Chains A and B, each alone.
Chain A
Amino acid sequence: MTLKSLDPRVKRLGIPEEWDTPLSPKETLDQFENYEAFIQVKEGKALEHVGPVHAPNEEMAFLFAKEQYSRRGMFCNALCVVKTENIIGTEFSDNGISIYDAVTAQPSGIENQSYEVFHLLKRGKQHKYVGTVMAKDFEDALVVAKHTYPSQKPVFNVWIAESEHILTSNEEDKDMWETLKEKQYREAIDYKGQDRIKAYKERMGQA
């Protein structure tokens, strides 16, 4: 016997009325890795953290992030993804104190590795991309970032990732981010009903 349903799709799945066995619990690893996605809302703006996706690899993370975070394309001009484990974050500071205040070392001067730097300027908001630094390692990159990208406002948290760990959208694939005006059905603004309500009320008033 298969499960009854009002949903024709469910009927086609042929789900048994009763299962013989309980669901075998997932193996601990039955979960893809996390990737963090960053989006540039428009030309000239900084890339901004939007959230994670689970994916088996970088390329798929990119595809998934595109649909999860930019399917309303007017909010997206470019996208990049980084595997979460490849981002090193500092501790969080608060109450107007910058996390850079605790960074006292001087740049090592060894610039053999390229890093990308992200700042959090308000707790509760998103990390934003500030730029690239050349440094020896993560700690050194933090030091270099402090000197290269001084901030008027306190920086509450910094994320750093090696540049080569970041997958960014290609300039030549720009057309992938365009949203056709035919996709207006996804937007609230496309649904106007007041005229119909008014006409209905007038009709009722006359009746």
Chain B
Amino acid sequence: MYGGGNVFEAMKATALAEEDPKELAKFEARIDRGEKIEPKDWMPQLYRKQLIRMIEQHAHSEIIGALPEGTWITRAPGFKRKLALMAKVQDEVGHAQLLYSAAETLGKPREQMLDDLVTGKSKYSNIFNYPAFTWADSCFISWLVDAGAIVNQVANSKGSYGPYCRALERICAEESFHLKYGHHCVIHLATGTKKQQEMMQAAVNRWWAPMMHFFGPSDKISVHSDILMRWKVKMASNDECRQQFLDMYVPKIWELGLTLPDENLHKNLETGMWEFTEPDWEEFKRVINGDGPCNKERLAVRRMAEERGRWVRKALLAPKTKYVAPLA
């Protein structure tokens, strides 16, 4: 599950001047033809760096994203929900595995990425720094956070880097189960007993602001995003993703008798665009920089998992092992 708001590498104006112009032209022509770039192909340093950064953030978001819903894994009500939530959280870990592998093809070992996650050097999606207070929160995440992630992932799956696209295709196929499962859960709560309805509405109220943050702030038009778009690293702007999400899901939320905590939220029928109260981007920044309700817990859990697993990994390491990145 991952939204927009990627933190991209700062770019120097001279970065491309250092690349071989002939290779660069071949590379760009290949992308223009709609062909995928594969790990052994020549690629500009900048392309490699930005992709590693983006895929790594995506992978971290999956593994950290397993935690808020995991909060309810031992408490899901009834067999069907219990099994489904187990399978869903398992999928998130599986997605992390797929994405770390895709990033590895670009030359950064997985263990190094996991280190960078725990030390706070690299980021993950902000939304997972919020707590899942009740069962209904986990239902909101399964349905709507996954829905937001799908909007973003479907766009990215049409990008230029082969291994990332292949990983995303698998991921999107599994996310369709998440989305249906989550929707099913929310339908049952929203149309259920008074207590269930209240529980669901309270969760919607809590998660709406983080959900609006999920896609990231408006992209500023810049050389930066221009070149990332041209190379098909970034496939849609944050605003486009947010609009698409609102268009697809606000009606579905409303039809369940749920309200959204933003009285300015409406679709402008003339422009066809959704209008809403500007999200609090100061809070977004604060949370990204570590000061959210659960940042500390999320990283501490990952660190604990690393520490507790160390003896297992150490026991099985073959001393001669040399690192070989995956092929595709």
Contacts and interface: CB of A to CB of B under 8 A. Distances in A.
A31 interface: yes
Contacts, number: 171
A188 B177 contact: yes
Contact of A34 (B75, B98, B167, B324): B324
B187 A34 contact: no
B94 A68 contact: yes
B184 A84 contact: no
A51 B101 contact: yes
A26 B325 contact: no
Contact of A124 (B74, B162, B324): B162
B22 interface: no
A31 B35 contact: no
Interface residues on B, range: 35 or more
A127 to B, nearest CB: 7
Interface residues on A, range: 35 or more
Q: Is the interface of B mostly helix, strand, loop or mixed?
A: helix
A123 B183 contact: no
A92 interface: yes
B313 A92 contact: no
A119 interface: no
Contact of A29 (B162, B191, B317, B325): B317
A177 B30 CA distance: 39
Contact of B301 (A15, A23, A123, A191): A15
A191 B185 CA distance: 9
Contacts of A52: 101, 104, 326-327
A10 interface: yes
Given A7-B67, A10-B297, A92 B38 contact: yes
A32 B313 CA distance: 8
Interface in B238-273: 255-257
Contact of B165 (A124, A197, A204): A124
22 contacts: A4-B297, A5-B71, A6-B71, A6-B132, A7-B70, A13-B304, A23-B303, A23-B306, A32-B321, A33-B321, A34-B104, A36-B327, A50-B170, A51-B326, A56-B318, A68-B94, A92-B41, A187-B177, A191-B184, A193-B187, A200-B191, A201-B255
